[in-house]
Structure 1
């Protein structure tokens, strides 16, 4: 076998190994706490080099736009959507042993207010949930000994969520003036 063939096989093999590794990590991030939804990367639909990049999906029934960020190493998923009152709702889901006798706590700082301790609600025996809704977020930090979340306003598209929410509320108008499917507001 010639040197060129060996070099080509080595480069091809290396590329295949790297692509397989990135594909596996990307798939793992998309499937982590997916709640039965089809998640895609915002900027690159199939493979992302950054496994903590923002993902998007639409809820199965209402077609509501939802964003999320996952941190597999710390077993944390952060979801963002709009609530019925137009507020932005962050939902933090943490895989951790959970029962009411030993609540899971974290330190919260939001919109530059004084830090407070918050308690996660047990969703099951191995997951805890904390939700916070506000009309706007200028800053959000949620910290515990085993995770650290700090809101990066440049990553999360609040305007897209607001626009989608508005279009769903006024879907008849937008359906008449757009070629894309606009789903009606069908949320509790």
Structure 2
């Protein structure tokens, strides 16, 4: 299966490919010798790039674990949802569609990165920062669909609730060692949210 289509130009796709290649080498080294013991210089050497090139893609070593390339895809798919869909169903359909496009080898990388985030306090904190950025981005997309300002409380609450449910599902999925498809795990959580979280 090929990489998921993303609404971007050739240059951006090449950058995304390089970013994933750096992440692959980093995750391999983390598995072999531990996260703390692995240096940026070692990752750069394994990826056959300079440390300065590493830092052009990832500002810190933590970022090589928590960053991904899915935000443009999410925004593209959110904008493509039917206009009459309410915010939570629209976000649910967006995330389902995006995660269904992730190839198995890429999903394995997400699993490895998520397990690292669960096992290191600094990585978990950095992941929360990253999720806050995702909430802001999705809230802007929802507000645009509703014809409201980006600070609209409904849009921000919908985005926050969906991302919160996604985090819970993502971490549970990783703790279960990814025994099911990520798309199914996230969609189940968002289905419960959409239904009002009734027991």
- TM-score of the superposed pair, with normalisation by structure 2: 0.25
Structure number with higher strand proportion:
1
**TM-score if structure 1 supplies the norm length?**
0.26
Looking at secondary structure, tell me which structure has more helix per residue: 2
Larger Rg: 1
- If asked which structure has higher relative contact order (CA below 8 Å, sep 6+), I would say 2
